[in-house]
Amino acid sequence: MIPVGSYFRLLTDYLRPQRAKVALLAVVLTGVIGLQLLNPQLIKQFIDAAVEDSDASQLIPIAVAFIVIAIAQQALAIWSTYLAEDIGWTATNLLRSDITEHTIRLDMGFHKGKSPGELIERIDGDVTSLSNFFSAMMIKVVANGALIIGILVMLARESWIVGLGVAVFTLLAMAVMTGLHQVAVPWWKAVRATSAETYGFVGEVVEGTEDITANGAAPYMNERFDDLHRKWLPQTVRAWMGWGIMWSTNIVLYGLSLTLVFALGAWLFGIGTLTIGSVYLVFHYTEMTRYPMDQIRNQLEDLQKASAAIDRVSELLAKRTQLKPEGDTPVPDGPLSVKFDRVDFAYTDGDGDSQEIVLHDVSFDIAPGRIVGLLGRTGSGKSTIARLITRLYEPQRGAVSLGGIVTWDARVEDFRRRVGMVTQDVQLFRASVRDNLTFFDATVPDEQIVEAIHRLELDGWLASLPDGLDTVLETGSGGLSAGQAQLLAFTRIFLEDPGIVVLDEASSRLDPTTEALIERAVDHLLEDRTGIIIAHRLGTVIRADDILILEDGRVVEYGERIALIGDPNSRFSQLLTTGMEEVLA
């Protein structure tokens, strides 16, 4: 279990920007508590005056003062609730933003081990639990805790015996509820973990609906969904049992406290220590402890959930990327060289544990402006090389250099800005073509977008869109053919003006009607840039200056394409003779 102090330490940084609001909330809460403690004193005065047969001229001012104070107390209570919610949600929204940014900066090894649904649940669901608790805690836990202390002080003013008795009883009740809370925290943590697992599964099913339906796997998926709910239900029941135990315990403790007060009040009234008004005041103050105790009990339920969420949020924030710390060396403009120096690489799971080695002692050097055709069977390491160039991963041994700069000596953003990669699967967003081309960068003018489309000779493609740049695309395929999606991806890269372009089997799914258009766009895209073309088809690498062939994660051949074609003993020449598509499949 994470102690409550960890919660405050986690959010301290997010409260500092709201110091003025927090100070104002403290003042308003002090006013609310003061008025709540003051009004019962008026009731005491009213009762004692009435018992003494005072006339109405003495009673009416007390009654009017009581009404005015009650209205003022309610107004301040509403204001304090608004301030508490505003502070709580502002703080946790900032926390949610920082967690999202932290998660995005983690390496791909982490993301491959987490489903999108699980990450959404952890970033949004867990932090929402913190938001609910934090906003309520400010008004209900802190304020009600202060109110209970104030009540005990006022009780001690009337009778130190009653004050001491109620104080001991209140401390005992808080100790019991805190102990029950500690027991229930692991139960809520299990609920949050299973919730994230379930939403992760739902995300996978939604994403793979087409394949699941086509392959008749729906019954199996339904069974897995049932299994998750069978696991989730008893965990939820057990967690709510913790709440039920605290609720029933609070009822019993409240009944015992009233019994204690009635007994002490009757005794003290009988010996003349308290007046009838004082006896009522003691009873009223004691009854007032029930509401703040109920609120604290309710918030301890949220604290159970929040503590589990704190644990998971802290665990996520503690994750560290496997990428080495980045430097600040600037990346040069223009075409960039690419150098792999004795690189070994193995993918890691979400916990950073290495799996089977994919690249073994890979070394090659691509001169600036050269176009290299990267060939090899499936699983030979071609896409891995592309991911190392974009620094989505870090090699376990050796170094990758772009433009003569080792990747970790420059900022990650600089390398990724200078490397453009187009894959078979183009990610589209539910947004306009303009936003999909610029990744929602509103600073890119339409003229620059249209110029890029014109340079790639894609004017006809733009004209075919019903609303031009304002055409709204859907997520996934976005209603575009594979070729149209590739054209959009090419334009994205052209707008970035990178020094290296990686085409990762980007032409393997193109429809014949757009083949010529794609080929022209690729030619323009590779002009004055270093190019790496990963492909299975001969036509894709015909424009390459050099050929690099991988086999089982090792470089088995690297040289100029023309020279390799003329060498009957070269692997590339043999591939051309035997049929490259069949050999490399």
Q: Are 158 and 274 in contact (CB under 8 A)?
A: yes
Is 222 found in the same domain as 276?
A: yes
Q: Are 392 and 112 in contact (CB under 8 A)?
A: no
Buried b (16+ CB within 10 A) or exposed e, 28-38: bbebbbebbbe
Q: Are 341 and 401 in contact (CB under 8 A)?
A: yes
Query: How big, in percent rounded to 5, are the helix, strand and coil portions of the chain?
Result: 65, 10, 20
Q: Which of 100, 130, 178 is nearest to 11 (CA)?
A: 130
Q: Which of 546, 522, 503 is nearest to 383 (CA)?
A: 503
Q: Are 500 and 420 in contact (CB under 8 A)?
A: yes
- Is position 402 within any domain? yes
Give pLDDT, residue 2.
46
pTM: 0.63
- Is position 170 within any domain? yes
Domain boundary among 285, 318, 351: 318
- Compute the Cα dihedral for 166, 168, 169, 170 and give only its sign: positive
Q: Are 373 and 547 in contact (CB under 8 A)?
A: yes
Both tokens of residue 509?
Answer: 């799914």
pLDDT tens digits for 350-367? 555 667 788 999 999 999
Q: Are 14 and 95 in contact (CB under 8 A)?
A: yes
- What's the DSSP call for residue 478? T
Is 359 found in the same domain as 291?
A: no
Which residue ranges of the chain lie beneath pLDDT 50? 1-2, 582-583, 585
Is 408 found in the same domain as 557?
A: yes
Q: Are 528 and 369 in contact (CB under 8 A)?
A: yes
pLDDT tens digits for 156-169? 787 777 777 777 77
Number of domains in the chain: 2
Is 301 found in the same domain as 357?
A: no
Q: Are 531 and 501 in contact (CB under 8 A)?
A: yes
Give pLDDT, residue 585.
43
Is 271 found in the same domain as 348?
A: no
Give pLDDT, residue 135.
64
Q: What are phi and psi of 411, to 5 degrees?
A: -65, 145
C-alpha 174/C-alpha 254 separation (Å) is: 12
Is 234 found in the same domain as 143?
A: yes
C-alpha 35/C-alpha 158 separation (Å) is: 18
Q: What are phi and psi of 440, to 5 degrees?
A: 65, 25
C-alpha 4/C-alpha 452 separation (Å) is: 55
- Is position 550 within any domain? yes
- Is position 327 within any domain? no
* Strand pairing category for 554-560 and 500-504: unpaired
Domain boundary among 284, 318, 352: 318
Both tokens of residue 399?
Answer: 């170094």
Residue with the two structure tokens 């005041």: 281
Is 343 found in the same domain as 311?
A: no
CATH of the domain at 269: 1.20.1560.10
What are the Cα distances from residue 285, in Å, to 153, 258, 404? 10, 11, 77
Q: Half-sphere exposure of 391 toward its Cβ, with a 13 Å CA cutoff?
A: 28
Both tokens of residue 131?
Answer: 């938001």
Q: Are 453 and 485 in contact (CB under 8 A)?
A: no
Is 420 found in the same domain as 294?
A: no
Is 300 found in the same domain as 347?
A: no
Report the length, in residues, of the chain: 585
Is 382 found in the same domain as 238?
A: no
Is 312 found in the same domain as 425?
A: no
- Is position 325 within any domain? no
- Is position 214 within any domain? yes
Q: Half-sphere exposure of 75 toward its Cβ, with a 13 Å CA cutoff?
A: 6
C-alpha 419/C-alpha 389 separation (Å) is: 8
Give pLDDT, residue 140.
67
Note down the domain range covering 239: 4-318
C-alpha Rg value of the chain to the nearest Å: 35
Domain boundary among 286, 318, 350: 318
Residues 389, 98, 411: CA angle, nearest 5 degrees:
30
CATH of the domain at 561: 3.40.50.300
- Is position 458 within any domain? yes
Q: Are 265 and 162 in contact (CB under 8 A)?
A: yes
DSSP calls for 168-220: HHHHHHHHHHHHHHHHHHHHHHHHHHHHHHHHHHHHHHHHTHHHHHHTT-HHH
Is 349 found in the same domain as 297?
A: no
Both tokens of residue 531?
Answer: 């190019």
Both tokens of residue 59?
Answer: 């009673």
- Is position 191 within any domain? yes
C-alpha 145/C-alpha 296 separation (Å) is: 8
